[in-house]
Protein backbone atom coordinates (compact mmCIF):
# COMPACT_ATOMS: atom_id res chain seq x y z
CA UNK A 1 0.00 0.00 0.00
CA UNK A 2 1.20 3.48 -0.85
CA UNK A 3 1.23 5.97 2.04
CA UNK A 4 1.13 9.33 0.29
CA UNK A 5 2.04 12.71 1.74
CA UNK A 6 -0.75 14.54 -0.11
CA UNK A 7 0.29 18.17 -0.20
CA UNK A 8 3.92 17.18 -0.68
CA UNK A 9 2.90 15.36 -3.87
CA UNK A 10 0.49 18.10 -4.95
CA UNK A 11 3.22 20.73 -4.78
CA UNK A 12 5.35 18.61 -7.13
CA UNK A 13 2.71 19.33 -9.77
CA UNK A 14 1.99 22.91 -8.72
CA UNK A 15 4.91 24.79 -7.16
CA UNK A 16 3.06 28.13 -6.82
CA UNK A 17 -0.38 26.92 -5.84
CA UNK A 18 -2.78 29.70 -4.88
CA UNK A 19 -5.21 29.21 -1.99
CA UNK A 20 -8.24 29.56 -4.25
CA UNK A 21 -6.92 26.70 -6.43
CA UNK A 22 -6.18 24.22 -3.65
CA UNK A 23 -9.56 22.49 -3.58
CA UNK A 24 -9.75 21.96 -7.33
CA UNK A 25 -6.12 20.81 -7.69
CA UNK A 26 -6.37 18.50 -4.68
CA UNK A 27 -9.51 16.88 -6.11
CA UNK A 28 -7.80 16.42 -9.49
CA UNK A 29 -4.84 14.76 -7.78
CA UNK A 30 -7.16 12.47 -5.80
CA UNK A 31 -8.98 11.51 -8.99
CA UNK A 32 -5.67 10.73 -10.73
CA UNK A 33 -4.45 8.66 -7.77
CA UNK A 34 -7.75 6.81 -7.61
CA UNK A 35 -7.48 5.88 -11.30
CA UNK A 36 -3.81 4.94 -10.95
CA UNK A 37 -4.43 2.70 -7.93
CA UNK A 38 -7.49 1.05 -9.49
CA UNK A 39 -5.70 0.30 -12.77
CA UNK A 40 -2.62 -1.01 -10.95
CA UNK A 41 -4.74 -2.90 -8.39
CA UNK A 42 -2.54 -1.31 -5.73
CA UNK A 43 -4.03 0.32 -2.64
CA UNK A 44 -3.12 3.81 -1.54
CA UNK A 45 -3.77 6.01 1.45
CA UNK A 46 -3.32 9.74 0.96
CA UNK A 47 -2.98 12.14 3.87
CA UNK A 48 -3.68 15.87 3.77
CA UNK A 49 -2.90 18.34 6.55
CA UNK A 50 -5.83 20.48 7.58
CA UNK A 51 -3.93 22.74 9.97
CA UNK A 52 -3.11 25.34 7.31
CA UNK A 53 -6.21 24.97 5.12
CA UNK A 54 -9.46 26.80 5.91
CA UNK A 55 -12.33 24.37 6.51
CA UNK A 56 -14.29 26.00 3.67
CA UNK A 57 -11.65 24.71 1.24
CA UNK A 58 -12.05 21.08 2.31
CA UNK A 59 -14.23 18.96 0.04
CA UNK A 60 -17.87 18.50 0.95
CA UNK A 61 -17.88 15.02 -0.63
CA UNK A 62 -15.04 12.54 -0.42
CA UNK A 63 -14.44 10.37 -3.46
CA UNK A 64 -15.06 6.72 -2.59
CA UNK A 65 -12.74 4.02 -3.83
CA UNK A 66 -11.87 0.47 -2.93
CA UNK A 67 -8.25 1.28 -3.78
CA UNK A 68 -7.70 4.77 -2.37
CA UNK A 69 -8.36 5.93 1.18
CA UNK A 70 -8.29 9.69 1.87
CA UNK A 71 -7.54 11.17 5.29
CA UNK A 72 -7.69 14.80 6.34
CA UNK A 73 -5.65 15.09 9.49
CA UNK A 74 -4.11 17.73 11.71
CA UNK A 75 -0.59 16.55 10.86
CA UNK A 76 -0.09 14.28 7.82
CA UNK A 77 3.57 13.66 8.65
CA UNK A 78 2.72 12.42 12.13
CA UNK A 79 -0.16 10.27 10.83
CA UNK A 80 2.17 8.51 8.37
CA UNK A 81 4.92 8.06 10.98
CA UNK A 82 2.38 6.63 13.47
CA UNK A 83 1.25 4.06 10.91
CA UNK A 84 4.82 3.03 10.22
CA UNK A 85 5.60 2.90 13.93
CA UNK A 86 2.73 0.50 14.55
CA UNK A 87 3.53 -1.84 11.65
CA UNK A 88 5.88 -4.77 12.00
CA UNK A 89 5.62 -5.87 8.35
CA UNK A 90 7.99 -3.56 6.44
CA UNK A 91 6.68 -4.86 3.09
CA UNK A 92 3.19 -3.54 3.85
CA UNK A 93 3.81 0.11 2.92
CA UNK A 94 5.66 2.20 0.36
CA UNK A 95 6.03 5.78 1.54
CA UNK A 96 5.56 8.54 -1.06
CA UNK A 97 7.04 11.80 0.18
CA UNK A 98 9.96 14.16 -0.20
CA UNK A 99 9.72 15.27 3.41
CA UNK A 100 13.07 14.43 4.99
CA UNK A 101 11.57 13.59 8.41
CA UNK A 102 9.13 11.03 6.96
CA UNK A 103 11.62 9.54 4.48
CA UNK A 104 14.41 9.20 7.04
CA UNK A 105 12.09 7.55 9.55
CA UNK A 106 10.68 5.12 6.97
CA UNK A 107 14.13 4.19 5.65
CA UNK A 108 15.52 3.63 9.15
CA UNK A 109 12.64 1.23 9.80
CA UNK A 110 13.27 -0.56 6.47
CA UNK A 111 10.19 0.61 4.53
CA UNK A 112 10.43 1.32 0.82
CA UNK A 113 10.45 5.06 0.06
CA UNK A 114 9.77 6.78 -3.25
CA UNK A 115 10.24 10.52 -3.40
CA UNK A 116 7.30 12.61 -4.57
CA UNK A 117 9.04 13.80 -7.73
CA UNK A 118 9.63 10.23 -8.94
CA UNK A 119 6.07 9.24 -8.08
CA UNK A 120 4.80 12.31 -9.95
CA UNK A 121 6.75 11.07 -13.00
CA UNK A 122 5.09 7.65 -12.68
CA UNK A 123 1.69 9.35 -12.61
CA UNK A 124 2.55 11.42 -15.69
CA UNK A 125 3.66 8.27 -17.55
CA UNK A 126 0.40 6.63 -16.47
CA UNK A 127 -1.58 9.56 -17.92
CA UNK A 128 0.37 9.37 -21.19
CA UNK A 129 -0.44 5.66 -21.43
CA UNK A 130 -4.14 6.31 -20.92
CA UNK A 131 -4.22 9.03 -23.57
CA UNK A 132 -2.65 6.62 -26.09
CA UNK A 133 -5.44 4.12 -25.46
CA UNK A 134 -8.29 6.63 -25.75
Domains of the chain in sequence order? 2-133 (3.40.50)
Q: What is the pTM of this model?
A: 0.88
Q: How many Å apart are CA 37 and CA 102, to the nearest integer?
A: 22
**pLDDT reading at 134 higher than 50:** no
Residues 6+ apart with CB under 8 A from 65: 34, 37, 38
Per residue in 20-65, pLDDT (tens digit) is 788 889 889 999 999 999 999 999 999 998 876 655 555 555 667 8
C-alpha span between 72 and 94 (Å, rounded): 19
With residue 108 as reference, give the H or E element that holds it.
Answer: helix 100-109
* Average pLDDT of the chain to the nearest whole number: 88
Amino acid sequence: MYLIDGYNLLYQFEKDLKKEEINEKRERLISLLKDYCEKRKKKGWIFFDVKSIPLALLPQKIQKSEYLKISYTKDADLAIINLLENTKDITKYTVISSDRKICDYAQRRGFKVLNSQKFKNLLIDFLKGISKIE
